[in-house]
Amino acid sequence: MTTPFGDRLAAAISKKGTPILLGLDPHLDLLPSPFDGAADAHRDVNERAELIGDFCCQLVDVCADRVPAVKPQSAFFEQLGSAGVAAFERVCDHARAAGLLVVGDVKRGDIASTADAYARAFFDPPMGIGACDAITVSPYLGADTLEPFAKAAKTAGGGLFVLVRTSNPGSGAWQGHGAPPVSELVAAGVHALGADTLGASGYSSIGAVCGATHPDQLTTWRQLMPHAFLLLPGYGAQGATAKDVSGAFRPDGTGAIVASSRGIAFAYRTGHTDWKTAASEALDHMRSDLAGALPGGA
């Protein structure tokens, strides 16, 4: 039987000594040479998709020894159609072969048998897009629509990260509506949904996305979902610092993963000429930045 996702993530973070989740977001307009040809609308779409796939695979190779997990963003692959989706599949396979956990950032959400089909797409590798260890899901449709995803995840030893409070400036308008706010109801739903996946690590396989751009709320999320891994977007490019994310961690320095996408992948744009060296240095910088600010010296 596959080890539950929560335990696998805890082990991977411990092994690599950092809670960094490397985002793989192949923005067509930000790619370094020779991958920048992917932005050329006159080129064959299969060639363009090859380029974004190659870039992400090489970025994985640069960082694989120093991160526990990667997060490919589906949108940047889907924008190149089915050829792009094939590149997404290849990048997932490559990252897993490099020993990394793959969190597919797909933010899917739908009802009943449709949710089942989405779950198969990401947790049933012989069949679907596959090869994800976990995916992000959107909760708007209701708790009942998260259950098929959770069931499929558990069967596969996979995990979910449910959107609770996102990192964008307008996230509060609807997520923060009501008393208690909707986002707190969703957090309670995440806690309940993960109860039967609690592993030996003390963590469940059902996590939550909580924007690091709301640092004052992170301790609330930590308390409402004591066994959930919190996935924190917003570090770096969106303005959150290592100190900002610290409230999402337990006193022993575990329990959250900090996403960084363009801050590492496109670090070359701030002056370096060699994109791999720039990415590698940016990763080292983020590792020490977090190590210095997180509780427990993790």
- Residue number with CB closer to a copy of itself (136 or 254): 136
Cβ pair 70, 258 in contact under 8 A: no
- Residue number with CB closer to a copy of itself (183 or 205): 183
User: How many whole angstroms separate alpha carbon 143 and alpha carbon 83?
Assistant: 33
The binder of a copy of itself chosen from 12, 135, 157, 175 (CB under 8 A): 175
- Residue number with CB closer to a copy of itself (174 or 200): 174
Residues 6+ apart with CB under 8 A from 215: 240, 243, 244, 245, 247
Question: Is there a cis peptide before residue 180, judged by omega within 30 degrees of 0?
Answer: yes
List binders of a copy of itself among 128-147 (CB under 8 A).
Answer: 128-130, 138-145
The binder of a copy of itself chosen from 50, 54, 89, 244 (CB under 8 A): 89
- We find the least distance from the C-beta atom of residue 69 to a copy of itself, in angstroms, to be 19
Q: Which residue numbers are catalytic?
A: 107
- We find the least distance from the C-beta atom of residue 284 to a copy of itself, in angstroms, to be 26
The binder of a copy of itself chosen from 11, 85, 98, 293 (CB under 8 A): 85
Does position 111 interact with a copy of itself (CB under 8 A)? The reply is: yes
- We find the least distance from the C-beta atom of residue 11 to a copy of itself, in angstroms, to be 28
- Tell me the C-alpha to C-alpha distance, in Å, between residue 268 and each of 40, 123, 211, 279: 20, 34, 25, 7
In the chain, which ranges are E strands?
20-24, 69-72, 101-108, 134-137, 159-165, 206-210, 230-232, 256-260
Q: Which stretch binds a copy of itself (CB under 8 A): 11-19, 111-119, 195-203, 239-247?
A: 111-119
Does position 83 interact with a copy of itself (CB under 8 A)? The reply is: yes
- The separation between CA 79 and the C-alpha centre of its own chain, rounded to angstroms, equals 19
CB-based burial label for 7 (10 Å; 0-12, 13-18, 19+) = buried
Judged by the rule CB under 8 A, the positions of this chain that interact with a copy of itself are 25, 27, 41, 45, 73, 75-76, 78-86, 88-89, 107-115, 117-118, 120-121, 124, 126-130, 138-145, 163, 166-175, 177-179, 182, 185-186
